[in-house]
Chain A
Amino acid sequence: MATDVVVQQQRQGPPPAKAVNDWSIQVATVNGSGSQSANMVLLRSIFQMGIPVSGKNLFPSNIAGLPTWFTIRANKDGYIARKKEVDFLIAMNPETAVEDVKSLDPGAAVLYDEPLNLSAIRNDVGFYSVPFDKLTAAVCPEAKLRKLVKNMVYVGVAAQLIGIDMGQVEKAVRKQFKKKQKAADLNFAAVKAGYDYAASSLKKADHCYVEPMNATQGKIIIDGNAAAALGSMFAGCTVVTWYPITPSSSLVEQMIDYMKHYRIGADGKATFAIVQAEDELAAIGMVLGAGWSGARSMTATSGPGISLMAEFAGLGYYAEVPGVIWNIQRTGPSTGLPTRTMQGDILSTAVLSHGDTKHIMLIPNSVAECFDMAFDAFELAEHFQTPVFVMSDLDLGMNNWMSDPFKYPDRPIKRGKVLSKADLEKLGSFARYKDVDGDGIGYRTLPGTEHPAASYFTRGSGHNEKAQYSERPDDYQNNMDRLAKKFETARSHVPKPDVDTGKSKIGIIAYGTSHWAIVESRDQLRKEYKLETDYLRLKAYPFTREVHDFVKNHDRVYLVEQNRDAQMLDLLKLDLSVDQLHKLRSIRHYNGLPLDARSVTDELVTQEGK
């Protein structure tokens, strides 16, 4: 049933007056109807006009047939979080049309396919009826193509009504179809048909307007998974293994494209290996095998895959083998809502596996950080000789985000404490798990190092400093203590949080994609409630000193996250001294949709008793 996947929420304020560069369009289509190109063209045209814009695809776990929504938010102030309310609905899906219209706020507008006959439903929203089939048939003689081209018609209608520059639309169409000139011509003809129809037959009934700005110049548009793939390539990754799972598959698929293009050596041979494994157990196994052998290796997965990796994650931690695991989080538990977003694996990933295990996690909030943290992840994995998890999510990974161009990683690649043959000749011998430097990190050798003292035995069972099998209580405990010390060392090596402090006794802590809602919510709190807040954005686990200081320096600290159980709050509680615990408060959002500012503002204000 269509209603089972509905995504709109009611507005709580008065209807907006004329809105310039500050509104959202929602396109409701049927999954598999090819609306993605049309939506990208619409998004890109606005972007090219210099207006900050963000797009979010809300799609079902289905190949074709179920309803899907694409929301474009234009915002002159640069807010790019999800906005709950829809100002302009493009209703193309008969299944959801009635419900979509009913859930709109007064003052919104609906552009719909004529046969849907929606204008009778209510009289407090504007309506545009468009004869899509007739307009499409006129420009597209080939009946087979009409279904796809039809979507371009709404781009033209919307462009005319809102005032999007047709020159920019044409440029966006040509970019979308790249070298396929015929397809570009046909699609632009459909846009034009919609535009002309709107100009001649429709009367403005919405409040959305665009005016050119200069806020997107030089910026790029990319999704988080592509950014992660690029970052991994520039981080010198050589072995990639994976098992397909939404929303992580596109990370490796895009990596395959980039690597094939840019990582072929002078001899014409690949300087990498990418292997589709038989399952996630094998994917992480291969990562660890390759990491053990000395390669920068990674995999990408999501919740169910992370669960399967648990046993190997523990082996990686205990046997001290580097590897990078991207967790593009989706909604769980179990299969959950496989195509919706969540920060639902924080706790389980932090301690993934049995026994005393804990892992380093990096948490990007933007496509730029996906790029940068790909590099950081490999550096940390090799420095600490341990699996490192990068906690992205579906919203970041699969949606398109605008960004400044990424910065080339100028830092040289560091391979950590690896002893070469020459080192061994000097040293004579080495003990794999000895804490020589007092940081908990031992030295390792790579298989194939041609020195009789190079070899050691890697195992998940008890071992002493020399990597020999041992069940001695002191050996076990010493080893575990050293691993704990290594984790402590990591506190000062993981990326520090972004902190904006000194204005208020109220602190907010958030992480990952929640960031964008917090930025907007803090402005709402200031403007609407005269409430100043301080803010700390976590970028990694373990927590750095700044996190402790932040809690210490505030009376109340709201930890905002996208899961039901306040998972990061739990981790933080484990870290803080008891006298700080009473300060912590929790704001949680877990309906599968990206977090929006209004939800944070409302909840914080309620908890503040305002």
Chain B
Amino acid sequence: MASTPTSQPPVKTNRIGLSVMEYKGGKTTLCAGCGHNAISERVIDAMYEMGVQPERVAKFSGIGCSSKSPAYFLSRSHSFNAVHGRMPSIATGALLANRTLVGIGVSGDGDSASIGMGQFVHLMRRNLPMIYIIEDNGVYGLTKGQFSATADLGSKLKTGVINDLPPIDTCAMAIELGATMVGRSFSGDKKQVLTLLKAAIAHKGTVMLDIISPCVTFNDHEGSTKSYKYMKDHDEPLHDVNFVPQFEDITVDYEPGSTTEVTMHDGSRLLLRKLEEDYDPTNRIEAVKRLMQAHDKGEVLTGLFYINTKAPSFLEMLHMTEKPLATLPESVTKPPKSVLDEVMESLK
């Protein structure tokens, strides 16, 4: 029995001997109370608990507040902040080049459901092994509060504009298109988000998680109107913190099968319904049906909607070597002179 004569309590470590500190990222620059921060925290917890080697993770994102998230977890992983909406292709290329990486992408609802819709749907149908998270707040955060394509019918912008287009359900789409693990949660539901993320890390295929993530700033109709015009002139730079009210994170905890009502920072209410424990997530058609029913009832259904562990992944379909293409030696990637001679002979 080894005993360490120290007054410090031993640091808790995971199965690969790393502490949770080693999964942290940079200090967040997002608004206090932004749901995106809570999601970053859960990613840290999930990676830690699953004992993923941080260096093996590749983080991807597009452009938006949500897409800044990869900076706030897993500093020891490589990260690629792509262009607006086109993260899926960057992730696809990167993971094709090195299939041993654990890919995690973070996108926004604007990023994925509008400008990036084309790449989003094609990532889903390829079933490329990676985790794709949409931090879904129904608005464009970074460009200061326009509607996104997931905004609910009839919802109101702080400017008073009413949304009269139906929302796109990214989960229903992902299921239909071929993603093999699809779920939805709420950023304040620590337990559910963490559970889904841990399952996602274990899954070999495209995981699409739509996580409702309140935007405290642009759902806050009061107090910001004055600043709104000013800030609108500045696109990319982060919002002036002076204008961001300090909000508490919203948290919820409720049982499977039950419904809970969440009051958002702006006073609007969200009716969350968690799938019951005996729900069968292998039934694709039932999954889409339940999503549609929830829409009709005005509920946001959460939980794991669909999982298929048998479908071949994109990497399997390509019959690629197990080794990373990126680092194959020249002896493998450059055919010998005899091959060129053979081809030249056939062209004579």
Residues of A within 8 A of B (CB): 218-222, 230, 233-239, 241, 258, 262-263, 265, 267, 269-273, 275, 277-279, 281-297, 311-312, 315, 405-406, 408-409, 412-413, 445-452, 454-461, 469, 471
Contacts and interface: CB of A to CB of B under 8 A. Distances in A.
Given A239-B93, A408-B340, A450-B53, A290 B319 contact: no
A241 B91 CA distance: 13
Contact of B327 (A235, A294, A450, A460): A294
B289 interface: no
B58 A234 contact: no
Contact of A413 (B79, B88, B330): B330
Interface in B65-80: 70-71, 75-80
Contact of B80 (A282, A295, A449, A458): A458
Nearest to A413: B330
B292 interface: no
B71 A457 contact: yes
Contact of A275 (B54, B86, B94, B96): B96
A222 B324 CA distance: 33
B89 A286 contact: yes
B101 A448 contact: yes
B96 A239 contact: yes
Interface residues of B, number: 58
B333 interface: yes
Contact of A234 (B70, B89, B119, B335): B335
A67 to B, nearest CB: 30
A239 B89 CA distance: 13
25 contacts: A236-B334, A238-B328, A241-B93, A262-B339, A265-B332, A269-B320, A270-B320, A279-B118, A282-B86, A282-B119, A282-B122, A285-B86, A289-B97, A290-B93, A290-B97, A293-B326, A294-B324, A295-B97, A315-B82, A408-B340, A447-B77, A452-B76, A457-B78, A458-B78, A459-B80
The 4 tightest CB contacts between A and B, nearest first, are A289-B93, A285-B89, A294-B326, A295-B97
Contacts of A262: 335, 339
A282 B116 CA distance: 10
A288 B326 contact: no
Contacts of A235: 334
Contacts of B83: 285, 311-312, 315, 460
Contact of B236 (A241, A271, A413, A461): A461
B153 to A, nearest CB: 29
Given A293-B58, A452-B76, A271 B332 contact: yes
B55 A454 contact: yes
A311 B87 CA distance: 13
Nearest to B119: A282
Contact of A448 (B58, B86, B343): B58
Interface string B97-130: 1101100000000000000001101100000000
A312 B88 CA distance: 13
Contacts of B327: 294, 446
B22 to A, nearest CB: 8
Given A263-B335, A295-B96, A458-B79, A281 B118 contact: yes
Given A265-B321, A405-B347, A452-B55, 14 more contacts: A236-B334, A270-B321, A271-B321, A271-B333, A282-B88, A290-B94, A290-B325, A294-B98, A294-B324, A312-B86, A315-B82, A412-B330, A449-B55, A451-B55
B97 A282 contact: no
A448 B89 contact: no
B340 A234 contact: yes
Which among A292, A452, A454 has the highest number of chain B CB atoms within 10 Å?
Answer: A292
A273 B320 CA distance: 7
Contacts of A297: 93, 97
Contacts of A269: 319-322
A473 to B, nearest CB: 14
A311 B119 CA distance: 15
Contacts of A234: 334-335, 340
Nearest to B91: A289
Contacts of A295: 93, 96-98, 325-326
Contact of B98 (A237, A265, A293): A293
A454 B78 contact: yes
A282 B271 CA distance: 37
B344 interface: yes
B344 A405 contact: yes
Given A281-B86, A297-B93, A455-B78, A448 B98 contact: yes
A408 B337 CA distance: 6
A475 to B, nearest CB: 14
A448 B97 CA distance: 11
Contacts of A454: 55, 76, 78
B348 interface: yes
A238 B337 CA distance: 18
B122 A278 contact: yes
Contacts of B318: 270, 273, 275
Given A271-B328, A281-B86, A315-B83, A406 B93 contact: no
Contacts of A286: 89-90, 92-93, 96
B56 interface: yes
A279 B332 CA distance: 30
B98 A282 contact: no
A292 B94 contact: yes
A460 to B, nearest CB: 6
Contacts of B160: none
* Most A C-beta atoms less than 10 A away, residue of B55, B82, B94: B94
A513 B128 CA distance: 41
B122 A236 contact: no
B302 interface: no
Contacts of B98: 293-295, 446-448
Interface in B229-276: 236-237
Interface string B304-332: 00000000000000111110111110101
A560 to B, nearest CB: 30
Contacts of B122: 277-278, 282
B93 A291 contact: yes
A287 B340 CA distance: 26
B330 A447 contact: no
A294 B333 CA distance: 13
Query: Which among A237, A290, A449 has the greatest number of chain B C-beta atoms within 10 A?
Result: A290
B80 A448 contact: no
A237 B340 CA distance: 15
Contacts of A287: 93
Given A267-B321, A281-B86, A281-B118, A289 B92 contact: yes
B118 A221 contact: no
A149 B294 CA distance: 64
Contacts of B77: 447, 455
Given A270-B319, A293-B58, A456 B78 contact: yes
Contacts of A461: 81, 236
Contacts of B100: 448
Contacts of A270: 318-321
A406 B340 contact: yes
